[in-house]
Amino acid sequence: MGKYHSAVIALLVFLLHSSWAYSQNGDSVEVTVLDIGPGLATVMRLPGDYYVVYDAGDWRGGGRYSFNAISSLIPNGEAIDLLVLSHTDSDHLGAVDELLENYTVHKILRTGKERNSNTWKTANSAIQKAVDKKITDDFNLRYKLLPAGTSFIYGDTVLTFVSGFHIAPSDWELQEKSERNNATSIVLRLTYKDKSILFTGDAVGRHIGGHQNQLIATEKYMVNNAEKVTIDSDVLIVPHHGADNGSSTKFINAVISQWIVVSAGHQHSHPRSTTMQRFLSWGLPVNNIFRTDLGDDENEKEWPHGRIPENKDPKGDNDIRVSITAEGVLSVNYLSEAR
């Protein structure tokens, strides 16, 4: 009987511990910035089993890799409550069609700008089919006005619309096509238990190589509007993969982030040394900078911290998890297991 009682007690302790762990996990916000190569794909699991996807990853391989990465975090049978497509670059749209094919997506928030890329056409067609079947509510900024400060509420988690445009305002005076496309990026701020995360897409805040005090476009709009719509955040998902035309000094000063996450891959020399230096000069500890291309080696323009000589950083080995517990404890960590 002694051995039997010991086994029963051990089983009860295990079940109690498992139940407690599941409950604790269920009451936490978990945001995963996926290492899908050059591009951005982010999955949010919110208390109450709400799922939000912010950007759908790189298009290479038909977006299959990005879809597999995203779907690994959203169980079969669950719905995606909100799919946010920050803008229309292909490295943010890769898995849209497969997500709509395999999940019920309740709402899509997008800029609605038309593009000629096959990736955009495929994504747009998939969205239209879902709308026609009355499966998805397409909140398209081309047709619907969404004032800054509008909130999407999921239980105790609030996602606030900070910025986003169908086309960049003419008074931003952006000359380059890529700047005009990127500057429209939908920016969201997540808040839970007094902690916050800012998602910025490819927001523009300066011209490449511009003066350190330059402040333009999306970031200028957000900084000037910060008294009405807060951008101060504990974690910043860095604009435009750490490119030099984002993360202006004045924007960094306004956000006052304690951790930053850079979604980059082995292409485009991201994150740039010039960009990371602005964060370091502000006073951000180097250990509070996380990147999905850890160890990457492209050229002298890329930030060299942690560089492994001749390393072409692979996909899937540097996923990053931002967690906020029900007690308001925030942590940022690499997920160690490669996908």
pLDDT of residue 11: 34
Instruction: Tell me how far apart the alpha carbons of residues 161 and 147 are, in angstroms, rounded to a whole number.
Output: 8
Do the Cβ atoms of 249 and 278 come closer than 8 Å? Answer: yes
Q: Does the structure show a pLDDT above 50 at 14?
A: no
Question: Per-residue pLDDT averaged across 71-85, rounded?
Answer: 97
pLDDT, tens only, 156-170:
999 999 999 999 999
Buried b (16+ CB within 10 A) or exposed e, 185-207: bbbbbbbbbebbbbbbbbbbbbb
pLDDT of residue 175: 87
Q: Does the structure show a pLDDT above 90 at 8?
A: no
For the chain, how big is the Rg over CA atoms in Å? 20
Give which of 198, 187, 80 is closest to 141, Cα–Cα. 187
- Which domains can be identified in the chain, with CATH numbers? 25-334 (3.60.15.10)
Q: How confident is the model at residue 10 (pLDDT cuts 50, 70, 90)?
A: very low
Q: Does the structure show a pLDDT above 90 at 197?
A: yes
pLDDT, tens only, 268-294:
999 999 999 999 999 999 999 999 999
Q: What is the DSSP letter of 314?
A: P
The strands making up 29-33's β-sheet, listed across from edge to edge, are 137-140, 107-110, 82-85, 50-56, 41-46, 29-33, 320-324, 330-334
Q: Which two tokens stand for residue 304?
A: 């060299």
Burial class (CB in 10 A: 0-12, 13-18, 19+), 244: buried
